[in-house]
């Protein structure tokens, strides 16, 4: 009998330590100890991560890092930023120099499987697009027959465009340049009718043209460039946090919880909202966070739709329509599993 009790006790202890080990993330512990999240960003990409007038980092991907900090510390400013170049970003993440990489990084199979990193979600579904002069009256990429296209050489952009035009039997003249700046200049000078690169970059580059409103970005997107934040492989607890902060932003938008109404929503009868904001259930604890983690994020930064509108949406200078980045309920593909 004594032996049986001992076994039960032992297994209970073992079980508890097992759960504890599962819930506790070493990265989370380290982040809590140092008091801030170290976030890898770009050296300046308009709308995604760029310094603002007051020298604070701002942008859609910056807000994601701030959301993590808000969830952990209840303080969206508990973030330190490391500007990274595209070559050193993965090394910085895997060496532990940064905790989250949120730097316009395309989620590809190679990166996900061989670099020791995990992608937590897709903050922006980007893809290659086309920009033309409004005066030309072109409404679709399929009407581009006979046009000349400015492209940066040696990039996937060039290959994507070649694939797209040949599969659609469209004859175009491609004009190839070495540098992005040259491409833009050539397009501005009228050496070609079309400028093609990733659509978010098109929108940002358009601002450097003489008259941005004289140019339109065509609706066709010819490649998949899902840009998302990533974390180190091997720390599932931290990966869960990264993933569910992103899901929470989407769920909040879907449920109509915004920065403005979040306090009223605390009294909502909707069980989904109750779970989202931590009024009911222990979902925060499952992540190793406080149960009001959802309330903390939304009250400080708003939901995904608000972040999008603030940094890259139609109201901003960049002016990107939601398109595929709309929620699944509104014709887009942003979809998050439920909080329950």
Partner 1 sequence: MTDTTNHNDFSFVRTEMAQDQPAPVNTHGPIAWLRANLFNSVGNTILTLISLYVIWIAASGIWSFTVTHAIWEGTEGADCRVEGAGACWPYIQNRLLFFIYGFYPAELYWRPNLAMGIGALLLFLLATPRIPGKLIVGCLFLFVYPFVTFLLIHGGYFTGLEEVPTELWGGLMLTLIVAVTGIVASFPIGVVLALGRRSRMPLVRSVCVVFIELWRGVPLITVLFMASVMLPLFLPEGTNFDKLMRALVGVTLFTAAYTAEVVRGGLQAIPKGQSEAAAALGLNYVQANAFIILPQALKLVIPGIVNNSISLFKDTTLVSIVGLVDLLGAVKAGTTTSTWSAPTIPVTGYLFAAAVFWVFTFAMSRYSQYMERRLDTGHRN
Q: Please give the residue ranges that form the binding site for partner 1 (CB under 8 A).
A: 30, 43-47, 50-55, 57-58, 80-85, 87-88, 91-92, 94-97, 181, 188, 204, 207-211, 316-318
Q: Which is nearer to partner 1, 296 or 311 (CB)?
A: 311
CA distance 245 to 260: 19
Instruction: Tell the smallest beta-carbon distance from residue 229 to partner 1 (Å).
Output: 17
Q: Shortest gap between Cβ of 30 and partner 1 (angstroms)?
A: 8
Q: Which is nearer to partner 1, 80 or 274 (CB)?
A: 80
Buried b (16+ CB within 10 A) or exposed e, 164-182: bbeeeeeebebbebeeeee
- Let me know: does 177 contact 151? Beta carbons within 8 Å: yes
The CA distance from 283 to 224, in Å, is: 33
Of 27 and 223, which CB lies nearer to partner 1 in the complex structure?
A: 27
Token representation of residue 134: 């409004």
Least distance to partner 1 from the beta carbon of 198, Å? 15
Q: Cβ distance 58 to 52 under 8 Å?
A: yes
User: What's the closest the beta carbon of residue 121 comes to partner 1, in angstroms?
Assistant: 24
User: Is 182 or 220 the residue whose CB approaches partner 1 more closely?
Assistant: 182
H or E, element range at 41? strand 37-41
183 or 257: CB nearest partner 1: 183
Which residues partner with 177 through β-bridges?
152
Task: Choose among 146, 167, 114: nearest CA to 159.
Answer: 167
Give me the least distance between CB of 189 and partner 1, in Å please.
12
Q: How far is CA 324 from CA 122, 141, 305, in A?
A: 11, 17, 13
SS3 321: coil
Q: At closest approach, how far in Å is the CB of 84 from partner 1?
A: 5
- In the bound state with partner 1, the residue whose beta carbon lies nearer, of 158 and 182, is 182
């Amino acid at each position: 009998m004594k032996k049986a009790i001992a076994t039960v006790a032992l297994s209970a202890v073992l079980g508890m330590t097992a759960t504890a080990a599962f819930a506790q993330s070493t990265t989370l512990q380290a982040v809590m100890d140092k008091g801030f999240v170290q976030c890898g960003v770009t050296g300046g990409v308009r709308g995604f991560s760029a310094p603002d007038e007051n020298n604070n980092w701002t942008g859609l991907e910056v807000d994601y890092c701030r959301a993590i900090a808000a969830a952990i510390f209840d303080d969206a400013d508990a973030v330190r930023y490391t500007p990274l170049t595209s070559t050193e970003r993965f090394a910085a993440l895997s060496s532990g120099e940064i905790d989250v990489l949120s730097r316009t990084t395309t989620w590809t199979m190679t990166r996900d499987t061989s670099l020791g990193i995990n992608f937590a979600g897709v903050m922006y579904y980007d893809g290659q697009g086309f920009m033309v002069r409004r005066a030309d009256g072109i409404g679709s990429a399929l009407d581009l027959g006979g046009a000349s296209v400015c492209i940066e050489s040696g990039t996937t952009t060039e290959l994507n465009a070649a694939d797209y035009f040949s599969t659609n039997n469209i004859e175009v003249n491609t004009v190839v340049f070495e540098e992005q700046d040259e491409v833009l200049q050539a397009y501005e000078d009228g050496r070609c009718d079309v400028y093609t690169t990733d659509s978010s970059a098109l929108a940002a580059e358009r601002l450097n043209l003489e008259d941005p409103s004289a140019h339109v970005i065509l609706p066709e997107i010819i490649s998949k460039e899902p840009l998302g934040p990533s974390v180190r492989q091997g720390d599932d607890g931290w990966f869960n946090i990264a993933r569910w902060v992103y899901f929470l932003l989407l769920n909040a938008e879907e449920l109509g919880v915004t920065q403005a109404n979040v306090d009223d929503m605390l009294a909502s009868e909707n069980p989904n909202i109750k779970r989202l904001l931590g009024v009911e259930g222990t979902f925060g604890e499952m992540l190793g966070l406080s149960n009001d983690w959802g309330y903390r994020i939304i009250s400080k930064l708003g939901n995904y739709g608000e972040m999008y509108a603030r940094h890259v949406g139609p109201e901003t200078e960049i002016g990107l329509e939601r398109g595929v980045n709309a929620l699944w309920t509104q014709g887009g593909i942003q979809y998050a599993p439920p909080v329950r």
